[in-house]
Amino acid sequence: MTATIFTLGTSIMLLLSLLAAALGLLVVEKAFRVSRRWDRADEEERYELEKEFYVAYAVVCIVLAIRIFSVPLYFWVMQTLAPTIPGAMCLWGIFNALPELCWSTLTLKFGLPVLYFGWLILARINNSCKRNPLMKNLMSLYVLLSPLLMIDSLVDLTVFSRLNPMQVVCCTSAIDVWQRPVPSLIAGISGQLVLLLIFLALCLVYASFSFASQSSSAFEWPSRIASLALLPVSILATTEVLTPWILKLPLHHCPFCLLYRKPASILFLVTLWFSTAVPWWILMTKKMGREDEEANKAEFKLRGALWKSSGTALVIGLTTILTLMLISLA
């Protein structure tokens, strides 16, 4: 039987996952009691519940910080394992060493941090108020998030305890040999060019909606719809246009190679993720962050800043990736 790979990076990931799981379980009962009893508690019980809230609140912040920090660390540690896995040249090959987990849970690495940051944004609104108006909402949301936190930690524990140096197939024998989803010509125009123009147009539309949402809530749902449309288009544009053009490898389509060989493209990925997450954070604050007049004012102020940050982040990311394209064409 092949031995499991253990390095400093995998050891840190295992330790952080265990710590997050242990701390997360430690405060679930406190969070549940606060969320269940707060509305019915008398003055004396509320005082005790408030003390429990502060303990749970501090621990939850630590747990979420660990899980958020673990996301970039996860991909970095996985990339460092390439020399130890025969056939692996990038994350594609490393994921194939444990495909049933690495590929199937990849969406968790991008989706769950949206919820984690959403909780922290609600916590910021609560901190800006004097009477903890979002106490019950924060604890109720954490109770709902706790199973996902456990799954998130369990995935990392399983991955880094089971990865072994087996022979794998990497991207050149996988995505590069697939039938391309974009025709070479569309109405006599390069299919890649058409896709790139659609991607750029959708980015500009979404950025415009984000900026417009600062002053008018009428643009908020169009922004959310545009963010959902932007995700698959961005993935397709990255594999079919950005990767082969920027790397100057017309037949190579692996997005992990783009991120590895052109580190500046990571900024594009991060800003795109942040920008498309903002509409859903704002939906969370709208539903859970307006418990009284003070919280309503804090939420309104933060909402405007988030919409501005969304549009600005997308412009920065788009500028970064277009600069890489121009450099590759020079």
Q: What mean pLDDT do residues 295-316 have? A: 95
Give the per-residue pLDDT at 259.
95
Give the per-residue pLDDT at 204.
96
What are the Cα distances from residue 137, in Å, to 32, 121, 278, 287? 11, 12, 20, 10
Whether the per-residue pLDDT at 3 is higher than 80: the answer is no
Q: What mean pLDDT do residues 249-261 have? A: 95
Whether the per-residue pLDDT at 324 is higher than 90: the answer is yes
Q: What mean pLDDT do residues 161-190 have? A: 89
Cβ burial, residue 235 (10 Å; 0-12/13-18/19+): exposed
Q: What's the per-residue H, E or C state across the chain?
A: CCCCCCCHHHHHHHHHHHHHHHHHHHHHHHHHHHHHHHHHCCHHHHHHHHHHHHHHHHHHHHHHHHHHHHHHHHHHHHHHCHHHCCCCCCHHHHHCCCHHHHCCCHHHHHHHHHHHHHHHHHHHHHHCCCCCCCHHHHHHHHHHHHHHHHHHHHHHHHHHHHCCCCCCCCHHHCHHHCCCCCCCEECCEEHHHHHHHHHHHHHHHHHHHHHHHCCCHHHHHHHHHHHHHHHHHHHHHHHHHHHHHHCCCCCCCCHHHHHHHCCHHHHHHHHHHHHHHHHHHHHHHHHHCCCCHHHHHHHHHHHHHHHHHHHHHHHHHHHHHHHHHHHHHC
Q: In the structure, what pLDDT confidence band is assigned to residue 99 with cuts at 50, 70 and 90?
A: very high
Q: In the structure, what pLDDT confidence band is assigned to residue 2 with cuts at 50, 70 and 90?
A: low
Q: In the structure, what pLDDT confidence band is assigned to residue 1 with cuts at 50, 70 and 90?
A: very low
User: What pLDDT digit, counting tens, does each position of 18-72 carry?
Assistant: 999 999 999 999 999 999 998 888 888 888 999 999 999 999 999 999 999 999 9
User: What pLDDT digit, counting tens, does each position of 119-145 carry?
Assistant: 999 999 999 998 889 999 999 999 999
Could you identify the residue written with the tokens 């390095």? 7
Lowest-confidence segment of 107-111, 153-157, 169-173, 321-325 by average pLDDT: 169-173
* Contact of 7 with 81, CB cutoff 8 Å: yes
Backbone angles phi, psi at 190, to 5 degrees: -55, 130
What pTM does this model have? 0.94
Q: What percent of the chain has pLDDT over 70?
A: 99
Rounded to the nearest integer, the mean pLDDT of the chain is 94
Domain boundaries, the chain: 8-171, 176-329
- The 10 Å Cβ neighbour count of residue 126 is 21
Q: What mean pLDDT do residues 246-263 have? A: 95
Q: What mean pLDDT do residues 160-166 have? A: 91
| Tokens of residue 323, six digits | 């600069």
